[in-house]
Structure 1
Amino acid sequence: MGPGADASADATQAGEAEGDASQAAGQAGAAEAPAAAEDEAGTDTTPADGGEQPEAGSASEAGGPEPDASADATQAGEAEGDASQAAGQAGAAEAPAAAEDEAGTDTAPADGGERPEAEAGSEAGAAADGAQEGGVSEAEAELAAQRELRARIERRKAERGGPVASGAGLSGTAADLLAAVRAVEGGAPATAYFDEAPAVPRRPDPVPAPAPVRAVAAPAPDREAAAETVDAVRAVLERGGAPGALAGQVVEVLGEAAGERLAEDPWQLLAVPGVRPEQADGFARALLGAACGPDDERRAAALVGWVLERAALRGHTAQDASAVRAALAERQVPDPDKAVQQAVESGVALVFQEGLEEAAEGGDDGEGAGEDVGPVTVLLGLDRYAMAEESLAEGLARLIRTCAPAEWEGTELVRAAGANGVVLHTGGEAARAEPAALVAGARARGVRALLAVHGADGIRRLGAGAGAVTVASLLDGSAGPGRDEDGAFALDLLVVLDAPQLDVETAAVLVESMPDGSRLVLGGDPGVLPSAGAGQVLGDLLAARVCPQVASRTPDPGPLGELVSGIGIGELNQVEAPGKEIVIVPVRDAGEAVHRAVQLVADSVPRAIGVPAGQTQVITVGHGGSAGTRALNAALKQRLNPGPGRFGGFDPGDRVAYAQGLGRTVTGTVVSAGADGLHLDCDGTATVVPRARVESAVRHGWALTAHQAAGARWPAVVVVLPGDAAQGLSRPWVYTAFGRGERHVSVVHGVDQALPRAVAEVPGEPRTTRLRGLLEGLLAGTE
């Protein structure tokens, strides 16, 4: 008997627990110093642990693998993370956690549900590293691509010269904004304060996409000037009681004039990942003395930006103005309305109105007009996400409008792709064969077609014959067909699988790179966790219904396919598993959960299922806590590869997770270390992580969070659900975690009825985005 699985969209919890970010830093009485942000790739916050009643149907220890039962609970901090364990330790390498004693013992200690601190680690800060000497690093490539995107966005803003389209225009003045926010939310007509937005926004002329980044050598940095800048910032930090080790991060965020900017506005320290408002306040008090106050305009603007950044870590591209004001009030801002006004005046935030057009139309009908029109929602957002969503919407509309329909014979997907510029394809793992067949058929017709996936594991699952590339390698120019003379991909058809993992910024760059008249097919499973970054691209496109949608009728086979399919529709069913494909292991507490997980990976699964420990992946609720990735990895290392951790906490043979960028975590094995960094073998690809990046971007990888595991699969998976995981479970999270196993899933189960309840009743945290409204406005009347 197998467990009914539960699938919860943990995605958005990406920065929900801001984490240990900054435990200390000069707390002696002086200012509270910001702690060094430790960018933990893909951190989920781990909830506190508690014992649970076992679920019926557990496998016996003797006959088969120890049933493993529990769906990961909270992805809550999957994006913001551990930031800053202790300010004073900012420069020291993080030593590996000591393996827990219970890992090797037969009796599991009863924790009684110790509640760990919520921890989060920001994948967002872990930019891809460049492993190849003499070339442009992946981090530089990503930064260059982002700079190019922002440059194009700025050109669009200049061309637009008016309010942002599709009901999202900027208010005329900050004073009008303040009046409108109060009046609209109180039920007053929006047209008294905002100009009506055009029904169909004008699309600016296409801007050529950047040439392949890797083709251009990066200029050699001025090391002396860089060192002087870091020294200047360090002096300012230490004068304010903050750890000097933060200097490098501050320079990275604030630029060459970071020292002067920080001295003039100490609250800009909040832009550094992991720094919390109370720490920035303490730093400001130390620098400004009596001139520092809670109503300082600089503080208000910085806090608005901080609130919106935190929202982005949970997946939101915008926030309701009332939610922003409430968050400011919690931070003792005396006048949240005025703070919002100041943030808009200073350009920290943009303001948009959702539902403005409907309100305006209703207001012109005379008596009774507008009664059925919903309220206008005033949203605040950061420029980078607002412009990315607009760029993405315009690019998708361009592809839809410029495609010349063609009659392609074949399956429903083939016919739809031939007749339309943008097509959506949904389905599970088995359904991936359909878009792969579409690409193969298109190539046979002489069409320039390419298949792109989220990560390298997606290429493995498709097989070498599919000729697939990763989205990251396609964008940086290291793989794919290259670009034409206009800077666009030399393609007629691009099929992107794992589309739920596309954040809005990546999707915008991808679509901007598509030439006019080309075709784009986005495929994926809408039931999995959404992207680690901001936005929900596939979900918004499905909801907007502006292009054909083809749902696969090919189910995933076997007991695992049946289990995951049930979770997708909100049902945790009992599934017959005669080959021990699904096993439940009931546990009482987190200590026992760790012990059982180690026993499953090291003994039970290899013996009963025939899957070696190196091909079994543990998935748990978060990084912190008694049964988070740290505790599990420490115990697994002690059992599978004990050692002193002589390479910055790692030994040859250690399994690791390397965060190449936001939402892109790869697993590998430590080979050696040298002056250039840590040498890894990532599925046969030699990778070198620079020494400066090891601490923030590499973790032990026997255990991962569900967000880190999304987009990949393993022969066997052990899902660990201690009692404290119950509060973070959702259907997408469970669906994602249980769906990572190809042959076997063990569930270490300590959450009792919280698992079926989450599958049936918790659809995941909704994300606030603008893409759907923008698309509907741009394509109004388009069939």
Structure 2
Amino acid sequence: MSTEPETTENAGPGTPDTRETPDQGTDGGVAAEGTEKTDGTEDADGMESPAGSEAAEGTEDAEGTRSPEGTQGPEGAHGAEGAGDAEGAGPEDEAAAEDGSTTAEDGTGAAEDGTAAAEKSEAEAELAAQRIERERIERRKAEKKGPIRSGGKLSGTAADLLAAVRAVESGEKPVATVFAEPAPAPRRPAPEPVRTPRPAPAPVAPGGPAPETVEAVRRVLAEGGAPEALAPQAAALLGEGADTALREDPWQLLRVGGVRPEQADGFARALLGAACGPDDERRGRAVTVWLLEQAAVAGHTALELPALTAALGRQGVPDPDAAVQGTLAEGEALVFQDALEEPGAPAAQDTGTGQGDGEEQERPVRVLVGLERYALAEESLADGLARLVNSVAEESGQPWETAAAGLSGGAAELARAVAGHGLVLHTGGEAARAEPAALLGAARAAGLRAFAACHTPDGRRRLAAQLGGESAEQGVGTVAGLLSGAEGPGRDADGALALDLLIVLDAPQLDVEGAAMLVESLPDGARLVLSGDPGVLWSAGPGRVFADLLAARICPQTASRVPDPGPLGELVSGIGIGELNQVAAPGKEIVIVPVRDAGEAVHRTVQLVADSVPRAIGVPADQTVVITPGHGGAAGTRALNSALKERLNPGPGRFGGFDPGDRIAYSPAPGRTVPGVVVKADADGLHLSCAGAPVVVPRERVEGSVRHGWALTAHQAAGARWPAAVVVLPGDAVPALSRPWVYTAFGRAERHLSVVHGVEQALPKAVAEVPAKARTTRLQTLLRTPEA
């Protein structure tokens, strides 16, 4: 079973790797053979790779997409060291696309996604809000004045690079010798935020490209030997004149999800002939952007310059420095430099090198390169959080005092913190959710406009059950529903959410773009509570917002002292501190099922779901989830779902491989997975029931956004719980295992957990020794940097 891409040797955090690995499965980025972002874009839709180069079969894409790395999947895209392993780059990064966009398995899904946005669906509301917010971001960028503060005295190549960046900003051409250790532009002062939601821009235009544009692109693709099924997405991404753009710069094909560098190289050779070479500056720029995109799939918001240039070298770019310089000059990426000293460090002293009395010592910095999309989101998030922290009046007011008065224990402590602060962090396990639930009920009873948003519909259901009513009546929804306007209180005349208090549960699942949208949607004086379990996997999308905020310590933090009950609670709590303990389970709450190979693992899993768990535990098959580290391999989600369908709902797959009654995982947008059931299919598309709501997926989007859902990855399952869970760990799952992965997978069970165990001592070792894979982000630095 392919788990996730492995980390590249000698690669530092965030280093995009280019080595090939077996079928991986992380939800994330580009699709190599089983690219999960495309749920398996095989060689970008069948596009052949040069001899000797394999497609990485399955790096899960944002929990579903894979990235080619070495042509391997983005999910690790071995593309970045953190991009490297599917969890650390693996399931962890697996999320990057799985939950995100399970792009079509053979690469066609990615293309078809381009024409699907016009359909009426929940995704359309999100995309509309995203377009509005993208316009806001462009206005915001235009309003920012002046140079970014570099944060310290520079000399040498770093100073040269900063000068080059400023030259580019002023419209000049940077000197060619500048690059070695580029110095990034510092942060610009932020203007007063415009109160509009800021969802991530959609990869495809909502109305789809014009038919004549698609046809022109199809002809160019055919001429270059590329799959014609990529035409709709390529046309949507490149816009009017896409065919001309591809002829002039064939490497623009890398912008299409699932396409890898060696595939774009073959396309370029077919179109350009002898004029095509590895030193072509167009190739260098395109591969640089592609590597940054793969790093984002793996969870990074930027890459350190040495990691990026090393990855470019592995992709056959002869002059990596020149490639990065060209990318910056064209405005396709941004460069930053962040001071490395910790807050409170002593001021720099004279170096004593004889370079001048009283001269300040150079401050150590790290040079980062990132895509504008994530750079703006991270800066916007930092600015918005600072606004919330500083906009709360000193006096808390009668309503807040009333809300806190009726609470006790951890809920009272949380309420007191919220009364006097605009931002509060709350940590704890499943049982700890009762504390923000109590705060929500008390705040609403006191007349405050309060709302709670969860990561999944199941989380919304569980929270509403704690409050004793329907979710709409209790002010409970999902993050996606709140941002799209489908749930929640609506917005005021300024575009801000009409709220005094927003509680976000499952906060570790927030990526940097989603978090920025939420924060910028809150009015001045509103309170924001981010609550979650810090031990679970991080978000499917780029960033580690909750972990960065906990580390930055810019606001009050309250930790729940309520433990999760029973044998399962005891087991998961131990995993959280690095201990895999033997736990007494008199009611068969925990069962270990040893297996010797992947084939036996699949057989025993089907037996458990269909027979053993219903008979011995009383939990029916439709209330049991199967969790495995990746999509590919002999015991990945694809193999398990095939076996489970054959046993539980056999059928011919009358509509794109699906039959009525099939359990599915639907990804309406990158980073999100909603479980559901197939109802029927007709000319309109595939009809689903997701969390009790009807959903129609247009025919052209089925392959890219719907997959069978008896078996999920840990990222897909995050934020939800089932009465019973079967966690499958075949021998080849070892590279994907880490403490957060095991903690997340085992924690999805409410009453019963079966572990199909074939990794022997690798499981306790992963729990004890393998922490979360590092992600390169800038949020902590931005939060700690005072405004100019």
Residues 77-96 of structure 1: per-residue CA shift (max 9 Å, x gap): 44357867557xx48xxxxx
- Equivalent pairs counted in the alignment come to 693
On the 8 A contact 1:240/1:287 being kept in 2, the answer is: yes
* Bigger mean CA offset, 707-716 vs 150-159: 150-159
What SS is found at the alignment partner of 1:688? strand
Shift of 1:260: 2.0
What SS is found at the alignment partner of 1:351? strand
State the match for 1:110 in structure 2. none
On the 8 A contact 1:39/1:696 being kept in 2, the answer is: no
CA distance in 1, matches of 2:517, 2:723: 34
Residues 307-362 of structure 1: per-residue CA shift (max 9 Å, x gap): 00000000000001111111110111111111111111011110000117889996
Alignment of 1:526-541 (within 5 A): 526-541=534-549
Give the counterpart of 2:143 among 159, 172, 196: 159
Mind listing any 5+ residue stretches in structure 1 that lack a counterpart? 1-9, 47-70, 92-121, 185-192, 214-218
Shift of 1:382: 0.1
Cα RMSD, aligned residues only: 3.6
Shift of 1:33: 14
Shift of 1:305: 0.2
What SS is found at the alignment partner of 1:295? coil
On the 8 A contact 1:301/1:340 being kept in 2, the answer is: yes
State the match for 1:389 in structure 2. 378
Asked if residue 204 in structure 1 is aligned to residue 202 in structure 2, the reply is: no
Shift of 1:145: 2.4
On the 8 A contact 1:284/1:292 being kept in 2, the answer is: yes
On the 8 A contact 1:717/1:741 being kept in 2, the answer is: yes
State the match for 2:393 in structure 1. 404
CA distance in 1, matches of 2:684, 2:713: 29
Give the counterpart of 2:699 among 686, 691, 695: 691
What SS is found at the alignment partner of 1:293? coil
Residues 382-413 of structure 1: per-residue CA shift (max 9 Å, x gap): 00000000001000000111111416334110
Residues 622-665 of structure 1: per-residue CA shift (max 9 Å, x gap): 11100001111111111111111112211111111111212211
Asked if residue 767 in structure 1 is aligned to residue 768 in structure 2, the reply is: no
State the match for 2:64 in structure 1. 43
Mind listing any 5+ residue stretches in structure 2 that lack a counterpart? 1-13, 15-23, 34-40, 68-87, 153-161
Shift of 1:161: 2.4
Alignment of 1:543-582 (within 5 A): 543-582=551-590
Shift of 1:517: 1.0
CA distance in 2, matches of 1:305, 1:212: 21
Alignment of 1:364-375 (within 5 A): 365-367=350-352, 375=364
- Could you tell me the percent identity over the aligned residues? 63
CA distance in 2, matches of 1:220, 1:430: 41
Normalising by the residue count of structure 1, what TM-score does the alignment of the two structures yield? Answer: 0.82
Shift of 1:451: 0.8
Alignment of 1:241-256 (within 5 A): 241-256=225-240
CA distance in 2, matches of 1:402, 1:725: 48
On the 8 A contact 2:58/2:65 being kept in 1, the answer is: no
Shift of 1:74: 4.7
CA distance in 2, matches of 1:161, 1:737: 47
What SS is found at the alignment partner of 2:723? strand
State the match for 1:4 in structure 2. none
On the 8 A contact 1:15/1:311 being kept in 2, the answer is: no
CA distance in 1, matches of 2:665, 2:507: 22
Residues 560-592 of structure 1: per-residue CA shift (max 9 Å, x gap): 001001111111111111111101000000000
Counterpart AA for 1:402: S
Shift of 1:764: 1.7
Q: 1:415 to 1:304 in 2, by over 3 A?
A: same
Asked if residue 19 in structure 1 is aligned to residue 32 in structure 2, the reply is: yes
Counterpart AA for 2:166: G
Residues 178-214 of structure 1: per-residue CA shift (max 9 Å, x gap): 8776358xxxxxxxx778x58xx6331121215999x
CA distance in 2, matches of 1:625, 1:28: 20
What SS is found at the alignment partner of 1:625? coil
Shift of 1:75: 5.2
Q: 1:658 to 1:674 in 2, by over 3 A?
A: same
What SS is found at the alignment partner of 2:785? helix
State the match for 1:172 in structure 2. 166
Counterpart AA for 1:445: A
Shift of 1:163: 3.1
Counterpart AA for 1:636: L
State the match for 1:277 in structure 2. 261
State the match for 2:76 in structure 1. none
Asked if residue 419 in structure 1 is aligned to residue 417 in structure 2, the reply is: no
Counterpart AA for 2:32: G
State the match for 2:285 in structure 1. 301
CA distance in 1, matches of 2:301, 2:294: 10
* Bigger mean CA offset, 139-148 vs 666-675: 139-148
CA distance in 2, matches of 1:227, 1:44: 28
Asked if residue 735 in structure 1 is aligned to residue 743 in structure 2, the reply is: yes
Residues 242-296 of structure 1: per-residue CA shift (max 9 Å, x gap): 1111101112222233222212111010011110001101111111112211111
What SS is found at the alignment partner of 2:580? coil
CA distance in 1, matches of 2:704, 2:371: 26
CA distance in 2, matches of 1:597, 1:138: 34
State the match for 1:234 in structure 2. 218
Q: 1:361 to 1:380 in 2, by over 3 A?
A: farther
What SS is found at the alignment partner of 2:538? coil
Shift of 1:365: 3.2
* Bigger mean CA offset, 328-337 vs 164-173: 164-173
Alignment of 1:302-451 (within 5 A): 302-355=286-339, 365-367=350-352, 375-405=364-394, 406=396, 408=401, 409=404, 410=407, 411-451=412-452
Q: 1:769 to 1:73 in 2, by over 3 A?
A: closer
State the match for 2:180 in structure 1. 182
Counterpart AA for 2:223: R
Counterpart AA for 1:158: A
Alignment of 1:653-672 (within 5 A): 653-672=661-680
Q: 1:569 to 1:25 in 2, by over 3 A?
A: closer
On the 8 A contact 1:80/1:273 being kept in 2, the answer is: no
Counterpart AA for 1:533: G
CA distance in 2, matches of 1:703, 1:25: 26
CA distance in 2, matches of 1:28, 1:353: 37
State the match for 1:753 in structure 2. 761
State the match for 1:705 in structure 2. 713
Residues 470-523 of structure 1: per-residue CA shift (max 9 Å, x gap): 111111111111100000001111011011111111111111110011111111
Alignment of 1:493-642 (within 5 A): 493-642=501-650
Q: 1:629 to 1:12 in 2, by over 3 A?
A: closer
Counterpart AA for 1:695: E
Counterpart AA for 2:180: R
CA distance in 1, matches of 2:295, 2:184: 25
Give the counterpart of 1:79 among 89, 96, 114: 96
Counterpart AA for 1:771: L
CA distance in 1, matches of 2:117, 2:477: 18
Shift of 1:141: 2.7
Normalising by the residue count of structure 2, what TM-score does the alignment of the two structures yield? Answer: 0.81
On the 8 A contact 1:171/1:194 being kept in 2, the answer is: yes
CA distance in 2, matches of 1:755, 1:732: 12
